């Protein structure tokens, strides 16, 4: 499978079947253009960021991708995102040239920076 943004606020996930690619999911939570996507292969989670200054961690439950808003403290668009090798943290780069390191806060049950 592959996740991509068709230059808007959506993320499309495609699956290859033989020589044909077919769209299997559309993720629609961002209000602005999606600018970064990273897929954590071991935990099978996606993280996305966008010009709406938000990031979301997406978890597949059954056959539905569920978004969790990340508490980012940035005042410009989020431009890029990348999971850490252990997949327990990720970095979000913003248009103000700041990098936010995000992690899951167990006691609050959310992702924060």
Per-residue pLDDT tens over the stretch 52-77 = 999 999 999 999 999 999 999 999 99
Q: Is residue 78 part of a domain?
A: yes
Q: Is residue 44 part of a domain?
A: yes
**Domain boundaries, position 67:** 33-112
Q: Is residue 5 part of a domain?
A: no
Per-residue pLDDT tens over the stretch 84-109 = 999 999 999 999 999 999 999 999 88
Taking the alpha carbons at both ends of the chain, their separation in whole angstroms is: 29
Give the number of domains in the chain. Answer: 1
Q: Is residue 99 part of a domain?
A: yes
What does the H/E/C string look like for the chain?
CEEECCCCCEEEEEEEECCEEEEEEEEECCCCCEEEEEEECCCCEEEEEECCCCEEEEEEECCEEEEEEEECCCCCCEEEEEECCCCCEEEEEECCCCEEEEEEECCCCEEEC
Q: Is residue 2 part of a domain?
A: no
Q: Is residue 70 part of a domain?
A: yes
Give the global pTM.
0.94
């Amino acid at each position: 499978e592959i996740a991509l943004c068709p230059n808007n606020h959506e993320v499309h996930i495609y699956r290859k079947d033989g020589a044909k690619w077919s769209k299997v999911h559309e993720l629609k939570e961002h209000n602005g253009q999606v600018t970064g996507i990273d897929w954590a292969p071991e935990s099978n989670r996606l993280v996305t960021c966008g010009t709406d200054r938000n990031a979301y961690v997406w978890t597949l439950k059954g056959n539905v991708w569920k978004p969790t808003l990340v508490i980012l403290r940035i005042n410009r668009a989020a431009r890029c995102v990348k999971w850490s090798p252990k997949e327990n943290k990720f970095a979000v780069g913003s248009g103000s040239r700041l990098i936010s390191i995000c992690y899951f806060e167990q006691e609050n049950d959310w992702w924060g920076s």
